[in-house]
Structure 1
Amino acid sequence: MDRYSIAIAGCGPAGLAAAILLDRQGHDVTIYDQFDEPGPVGSGLMIQPSGLAVLDRLGLAEETLKSGARVDGLLGIEEHGKTVLDAPYSALGVPGAFGIGIHRASLFGLLYEAALARGIRIETRHAVTGSNLTKEGRALVFSAREATRPYDLIIDASGRQSVFDTAPPGDLEFGAVWASLPTFANDPFAGNLLEQRYRRAAQMVGVLPIGTRKGASHQEVAFFWSLKRSDVAGWQDTPLEQWKEDVHALWPEAQVLLDRITSRDQLTFASYAHRTQNPPTRERMIAIGDAWHSASPQLGQGANMALLDAWGLAQGMEHGRTFSEKLRLAVSWRHDHIWLYQWVTKLFTPLYQSDTSWHPMIRDKSMAPLAQIWPISQIQAQLMSGLFGFPLATLGLSVPDYEALWEASESSASRT
């Protein structure tokens, strides 16, 4: 296999995973990141079976579980107590399957340390503003810095605000305020579920177990409250205690977490977008992760899609006979799965985040009962797990042995 010089713009999960995989193949890889010190943005996320299949091949599945929290399903209850979302991983038909809730900092740390261990160069304080194509290759251009030398390939892993995408940003109306909060054994939450409470689709509060960050002495949960972008200023002007009363009214048991929020500085607003960079390739350049496609986090697929993109790119680089074919294969192997989830997410998101009355009515009256019937229950589990559309076989991947993974995790825990 030919060896190439590769520059990656962005030091998130997509960029780090791609760097590790391509370095394994013998390519000369350098990551460029705009921050003074590379690090994660946000609170918690879900590692689904699709993403864990990649982490398993990276040798990081057990460490991911050790850093995160086992999640056996999703449970959503509307304001009057009716269960409208009950999605256990057991319905997937994969022995012992589960998701992993994890802090973004923990996932970042695992990938970052793996990249450093391989000696991959990471250049910080490089804010990418564009690129220049020459006969020698493509160079990254930065703000207030000289451009790089020409590389054989530029990978855009810079996220949904990529400077290389000139299409409309596709900002979604709803975002969420997040906080990472300590949790204890007597807290009134299941501990192994992503739990949500809804008032129609206009308000949602949720709790996701995210394990224990490196160096911390306690487990955490990601606490989130849905909020429209247009309402952020009003929310910031609302007394904190008044907002807590609104949350308490929807989910009284969340009061124990609200008591741990003593300052608005603990809460961060996250906005989302639904967009696709089309096409994701140009000469000597390819986009992966959120730089290629982004969507509402309602199905919890962002980091998992990024990991699959990184794996797909590495497979394309290995199996393509020409440089253009390598990129074409990387895109073609991911295109259908991405297209499918972009549309499914677009259809499903209003059921849980919208101002309409008919979306939650469809959710509660039709979809919730149907989801308890096979094969709809299995399809729902496939959607949740990132396996709808059978993306793994195309990429030469398979779900990890969950029973062995859990047994190894329990054995490790008993020795410490």
Structure 2
Amino acid sequence: MKQLDIGVVGAGPAGLAAALFLSRAGHRVEILERFETAAPVGSGLLMQPTGLTVLATLGLFDTIQSLGNRIDRLHGADAISGRTVLDVRYDATPGGRYGLAVQRTALFNTLHDAVVTNGIITRTATHITATEQRADRVILQDAARRAAGDYDLVIDASGARSMLAAGSTSAPAIRDLTYGAFWATLDGAGAVYDRTALSQRYDQARVMIGLLPAGRATVGDPDKVAFFWSLKIADVEAVKAGGLNRWKTVIRDYWPECQPFLDQIHDWDQLTLARYAHRTALPPYSGNVVFIGDSAHSTSPQLGQGANMALLDAAALSHALASSVDIPSALTAYARARRNHVRLFQMLSLAFTPFYQSDSAAIAWVRDRLVSTIAKLPPMPGLLAAIVAGTVIDPFKSAGLTEYDWLSLPYHAGGVTPAVAAVRSSAQV
């Protein structure tokens, strides 16, 4: 493959990772970001072995590890009875895998700092809304229909609401999901919570409250906890009209241990409303425009795969370009490399979502009585662990990756790196 002029639309994890891979491969890359200042959006997320392997390939593993919080299991209980209905443990499969909860700020800074270090140009306040294919080149157009760039290849990493994907013949119309969530990043000091787990409480499938110990934005900062509460998007204004104190009372009645977190919320503006949508671009390219991350496959966050799938996309696209003789064959190879993994997790996400976000009492009953029982019987614990880890089918080989050797970590038995232990000690967590 000759040296290419590549425009990356969007400075989220997918765009930043793709820019790093391709710049290091010798291509001329620039990032175009719609906001005045590139910045993360959202609260916390759970990095899986898939995404962590990509970061390790980029040489960023130690950085993200020093900022994150190790997660060994996902635990959910009925808020009324206290009965455990979800208990997924990474150690149900061999290999030493685990999750790493991070603040979105930490992931963004880790990738963005590397982009800056590598001298990759980022053009901000550039809102790309359309493309025009001219022979073998792609012209990007901004909101005023002015030409904003001319490239051999455009990578659309602008997210689930991508206007480029919306205008593509390969992407169906986006389907907005009924449920979203309020998110906040809060101090964990003085609160009682499981620091090794993503913890959730449910009332049937109508209510889901969660706590994710999400580490630090920068080394030396105190640890934070990502708090979330699921609700219908259509009910948001009614909830706000009822007042903050009424909302807090509802949560406290379900989960009294949330009080120290609720005490930190004084205004609705402290909560970020996340809206979710489902769409899968097939194939994930159109002409010389290729879709990665949520632009290619947006879905519910139930399996926590969003950022991890985006990083895998970036690695797979870079591998396809490095292994192909021209752009068309590279995009075909990229689509083939990601096809099975993406389709599987899009399907699983659709299947799992109603069990945790729906009005169906029957589905919740099945989850709490039947599914929770079956989940304890072999081989289900290992299968569920592999689903959560994103490794139920191998996503690495087709992306040109070798999974990180988790058992080689000298701190594996202790669960944290020496750097993380030092940070936690200094923060008195």
1:353 aligns with one of 357, 362, 382: 357
Separation in structure 2 between the aligned mates of residue 55 and residue 163 of structure 1, nearest angstrom:
28
For 1:415 and 1:41, the matched residues in 2 are separated by 28
Counterpart CA distance in 2 for 1:340 and 1:99 is: 20
Give 2:316's aligned residue. 312
The CA distance in 2 between the partners of 1:195 and 1:242, in whole Å, is 23
2:299 corresponds to 1:292: no
TM-score computed with the length of structure 1 as normaliser: 0.96
Deviations 1:197-216 (A, max 9, x none): 00000001000011011276
Q: 1:180 is matched with which residue?
A: 185
In 2, Cα distance between equivalents of 1:121 and 1:298: 34
- What are the within-5 Å matches in structure 2 for residues 59-70 of structure 1? 59-70=59-70
Which digits, 9 at most, give the CA deviation of each residue in 1:134-186, with x for residues without a partner?
125001101247313421001110001111233322100000000000112x4
Describe how 1:9-408 pairs up with structure 2 within 5 A.
Answer: 9-79=9-79, 80-95=81-96, 97-135=97-135, 137-144=137-144, 146-166=146-166, 167-184=172-189, 186-214=190-218, 217-405=221-409, 407=411
Report how far residue 364 of structure 1 moved: 1.1
Partner letter of residue 123 of structure 1?
A: R
Counterpart-to-counterpart distance in 2, 1:410 and 1:113: 22
Q: Pick closer, same or farther for the CA change 1:263–1:393 going to 2, 3 Å.
A: same
TM-superposition CA deviations, 1:102-157 (whole Å, max 9, x none): 11111000000001110000000000110111125001101247313421001110
Task: Tell me if the contact between 2:65 and 2:420 (Cα under 8 Å) persists in the aligned partners.
Answer: no
Aligned position for 2:426:
none
Contact conserved, 1:136 with 1:150, CA < 8 A, in 2? no
Give aligned pairs, total: 414
Shift of 1:272: 0.2
CA shift for structure 1 position 320: 1.2
| Counterpart residue identity of residue 87, structure 1 | V
Range moving further from structure 2, 322-331 or 387-396 = 387-396
Q: Distance in 1 between matches of 2:41 and 2:153?
A: 26
In structure 1, runs of 5+ residues without a counterpart are: none
3-state secondary structure, aligned to 1:107: helix
Bigger mean CA offset, 203-212 vs 362-371: 362-371
Would the alpha carbon gap of residues 363 and 414 (structure 1) be closer, same or farther in structure 2, given more than 3 Å must change? closer
CA distance in 2, matches of 1:359, 1:237: 30
Q: Secondary structure at the match of 1:338?
A: helix
Q: Is the 8 A contact 2:74 2:197 kept in 1?
A: yes
SS of equivalent to 2:231:
strand
How high is the sequence identity, in percent, across the aligned residues?
A: 39
Q: Please tell me whether the aligned partners of residues 6 and 30 of structure 2 are also in contact (alpha carbons under 8 angstroms).
A: yes
Instruction: Give the 3 Å change call, closer, same or farther, for CA 251–414 of structure 1 in structure 2.
Output: closer
The amino acid that maps onto 1:138 is V
Q: Matched residues in 2 for 1:405 and 1:121: separation? A: 35
Tell me if structure 1 keeps the 8 A contact 2:140–2:147.
yes
C-alpha spacing 1:157/1:414, structure 2 compared with 1 (3 Å): closer
State the Cα distance separating 1:306 from its structure 2 match.
0.1
Instruction: Classify the secondary structure of the residue corresponding to 2:165.
Output: coil
Per-residue displacement from partner, 1:43-99 (whole Å, max 9, x unpaired)? 01010011111011011112111111111110000121110000011112122x210
Equivalent residue letter for 2:252? H
- Aligned equivalents of 1:7 and 1:143: distance in 2? 17
- Aligned partner of 1:410 in structure 2 is 417
Distance in 1, matches of 2:320 and 2:308, equals 18
Unmatched runs of 5 consecutive residues or more in structure 2: 167-171, 424-429
1:406 deviates by 6.2
CA contact (8 A) 1:62 1:405 kept: no
Q: Secondary structure at the match of 1:29?
A: strand
**Equivalent pair of 1:178/1:270 in contact (CA under 8 Å):** yes
1:236 deviates by 1.4
Deviations 1:221-250 (A, max 9, x none): 000000101001101111111101100111
* Partners of 1:55 and 1:178 in 2: CA distance: 25
Cα offset for 1:414?
Answer: 5.9
Report the CA distance shift for 1:413/1:290 in structure 2 as closer, same or farther (over 3 A). closer
Q: 1:218 to 1:173 in 2, by over 3 A?
A: same
